[in-house]
Amino acid sequence: MNIILFGPPGAGKGTQSKYLVKKLNAFQISTGDLLREEIKNNTDIGISIINDMKEGKFISDKIVNQLIENLVFDPLKKGKLIFDGYPRSLSQAENLNSLLINSNQKLDLILFLNVDKETIIKRLEKRKTIENRSDDDIDTILKRHDKYMETTQPVLNFYSKNPNFKEIDGGLEIHEITRKIETFINV
């Protein structure tokens, strides 16, 4: 199955995609992880995005689209893609659509983890103490959330008419979200 996990930072996309990777023997495509990897490896892309990432700014569609392209076309990953944090803009959603068409694939499930701002702030502050991510301080959390709200509405509109679009209350406990997801993947 090709699955998109969609929702604000802190909605639990990473946790649930790791579960799906194991359960379905699939591959996680986390643009956040891919971007952090570029920074870690000090690549040209990494150097160009380091400040924007720290500040919780949106990275250009061109860069993220470029990072995922080869992964979508990888024959080993075909039909086993779990998108975590991508697409985050209408342009990215349209790009993914054409990449999937061109690689003869489809989207089997679009999971929207919907969660309110207060829950997110609590979760991300907790995550900061565990993962020590530089973009998990309160100002950046709020910035990332506002940016998310601004860019995601068109993405939601784009997918919400798709029969494979499912909304889940992302405020539930991790295992409850997982149980709901299981009802959609028939395992």
Residues lying near ligand AMP in the complex (CB under 6 A) are found at: 9, 31-32, 35, 53, 56-59, 64, 85-86, 88, 92, 135, 144
Nearer to ligand AMP, 20 or 35 (CB): 35
Nearer to ligand AMP, 153 or 183 (CB): 153
Residue nearest to ligand AMP (CB): 32
- Residue 83 φ/ψ region, left for φ over 0, alpha for ψ in the -120 to 50 degree band, beta for the rest: beta
Nearer to ligand AMP, 150 or 182 (CB): 150
Minimal distance in Å, beta carbon 10 to ligand AMP?
8
Q: Whole-angstrom Cα distance, residue 182 to residue 40?
A: 34
The neighbour count for residue 186, using CB atoms within 10 Å, is: 6
Minimal distance in Å, beta carbon 137 to ligand AMP?
12
Q: Whole-angstrom Cα distance, residue 1 to residue 21?
A: 10
Minimal distance in Å, beta carbon 17 to ligand AMP?
10
Nearer to ligand AMP, 15 or 164 (CB): 15
Minimal distance in Å, beta carbon 87 to ligand AMP?
6
Tokens 């539930």 belong to 172
Nearer to ligand AMP, 36 or 78 (CB): 36
Minimal distance in Å, beta carbon 183 to ligand AMP?
25
DSSP string, 12-41: SHHHHHHHHHHHHT-EEEEHHHHHHHHHHT
**Could you tell me if 106 and 119 are in contact, meaning their C-beta atoms sit under 8 angstroms apart?**
no
Q: Is there a cis peptide before residue 87, judged by omega within 30 degrees of 0?
A: yes
Q: Which amino acid is at 134?
A: S
Task: Indicate the pairing of strand 3-6 with strand 27-30.
Answer: unpaired
